[in-house]
Amino acid sequence: RAAGAVAWQRRPTSRTGPILVLSAALWSLGSYGPTGIEPVWAIGFAFEGYYDVALALLALTFPATALDGRGRALMAALVTAFLARSASRLLLADPPRTFPEVFPDGPVNPFAVFESRAVFTLVEVSTSVVVAVAVIAVAILAVRRLATSHALTRAVVGPVMLASVVAMGFAAVEATDTAWSTAFGASLLAIPEGIREITDWLAPTGRAVVPLAFLLGTLRLRATRGPLSTVAARLARGGDPEEVDA
């Protein structure tokens, strides 16, 4: 959240700061899922992972790029999948009733008025597959943006695109594992108990790198010796505008 606030202050006309702040708020909301506190856990579980939508949007638009047709299609798919998954988790899944063999003693979801294991499983698996495919596509587009950027642009978007690829990679792994474990009742990733505490921190750490990268990119835009200053200096020396960013 601090990174978003700084980015918002430094570039108030950019969408980067507000989206980073929104991402932090969504992260906080989803973090209530594992608490088991009724009924807050159900809301947290339903809206878990929405920060990936915000991070995907930033990966496709930072620092001031409009979404093209593919970007709009990917964002539409992501938002639709997350909303469908949220509705399913909130209205269809009550652990003691839906999965009594796993959660015989709760926690209870009081919002599950249409409890159905079959429908919940179908929605959870299908939306997780959509999310996995979409975030992989976002990562590919981020790499393509980086590869096709000019040298000065790359100095700004480079850290952001690399961090976005890392974050989307973790999102893809989580979505794939969610689909697999929901469908087959066991995690796709067999992690030894001895290192589970370490691996449990990898995903949040991978996401945490992204706001820092966006903050770095935003600050570099305004840095005394940053890309904008370099462009201005080259133009002042009579450089060709078409070649300044070559």
Query: Mutual orientation of helices 16-30 and 202-222 as an angle, nearest 10°?
Result: 160
What whole-number percentage of the chain has pLDDT above 70?
Answer: 67
Give the separation between CA 73 and CA 79, rounded to whole angstroms. 10
| pLDDT interval class at 237 (50, 70, 90) | low
- Answer whether residue 15 shows pLDDT above 60: yes
> Helix (H, G, I), strand (E, B), or coil: what is residue 74?
helix
Here the tokens at position 12 are 């108030």
8 pLDDT exceeds 60? Answer: no
Q: Check whether 1 has a pLDDT greater than 60.
A: no
| 18-63: pLDDT as tens digits | 776 776 777 777 777 778 888 899 999 998 888 888 889 888 887 6
The pLDDT of residue 145: 85
Q: Which of 133, 146, 121 is nearest to 217 (CA)?
A: 146
9 confidence band (pLDDT: 50, 70, 90): low
Question: Where residue 245 falls among pLDDT bands split at 50, 70, 90?
Answer: very low
Residue-wise pLDDT for 189-208, tens only, equals 777 766 766 666 666 666 66
Position 219 scores a pLDDT of 63
**1 vs 35, residue with greater confidence:** 35
Residue ranges of alpha helices (H) inside the chain are 2-10, 16-30, 40-46, 51-61, 69-91, 95-98, 117-148, 151-184, 196-199, 202-222, 227-236
Of 58 and 98, the one with more pLDDT: 98
The pLDDT of residue 152 is above 70: no
HSE-up of residue 61 (Cα within 13 Å, Cβ side): 21
Check whether 7 has a pLDDT greater than 70. Answer: no
